[in-house]
Copies of this chain bind each other. A is one copy, B any other.
Amino acid sequence: MIQQHRKSAGGRSLRSGPVLRGRLWVEFARTAAFTEAGADLLEQIAACGSLSEAARRLRFSYRRAWMLIDAMNRYWPRPLAKTAVGGKRGGGTRLTELGRQVLSSYRDLQVQLEHLLDQASPGFLAILPDRDMK
């Protein structure tokens, strides 16, 4: 959610005027197949290589994180993340090339949406000062 980016960007969300918000997602067959939560989860998996650690960092239950990955992997034609079996670090999870590309494209689009909202905000703020008191 864009809101999260804004919170970390100087506390703008504390102002009392109207604040524009937006949310993006990707659907297959009218079902949400990639959401902000999915993006956050993939990002943490890319950072730490572990589904359980990624879930912990996001304060998701392991079950929620597992189901989110499982759903994304089923909605997309090919998986966005894969769990390795065996090996020294057996059980690690990593993004596929598709997962990396979807995450990157989604974040790019979020930045564009933030830009759109930032540009539109002055117009919304300008509505308020006493224009409707005529």
Residues of A within 8 A of B (CB): 13, 16-30, 32-34, 76-78, 96-98, 101-102, 105, 108-109, 112-113, 116-117, 120, 123-124, 127-128, 131-134
Known: A102-B127, A127-B105, A132-B78. A21 touches B17 (CB 8 A): no
Contact of B21 with A25 in the complex, beta carbons under 8 Å:
yes
Q: Which residue of B lies closest to A20 (CB)?
A: B26
Question: How far is A20 from B34 in the complex, measured between Cα atoms in Å?
Answer: 9
- Sample 8 A-B pairs with CB under 8 A, ordered by A number: A17-B28, A18-B76, A20-B27, A22-B24, A77-B128, A101-B127, A101-B131, A102-B124
Known: A113-B113, A127-B105, A132-B78. A28 touches B13 (CB 8 A): no
Which among B33, B78, B96, B109 is the interface contact of A120 at CB below 8 angstroms? B109
Question: How far is A132 from B94 in the complex, measured between Cα atoms in Å?
Answer: 14
A44 to chain B, nearest CB (A): 20
Question: How far is A27 from B15 in the complex, measured between Cα atoms in Å?
Answer: 10
Q: Which residue of B lies closest to A104 (CB)?
A: B127
Question: How far is A101 from B132 in the complex, measured between Cα atoms in Å?
Answer: 9
Known: A97-B131, A113-B116. A16 touches B33 (CB 8 A): no
Contact of B33 with A28 in the complex, beta carbons under 8 Å:
no
Which among B28, B98, B105, B116 is the interface contact of A112 at CB below 8 angstroms? B116
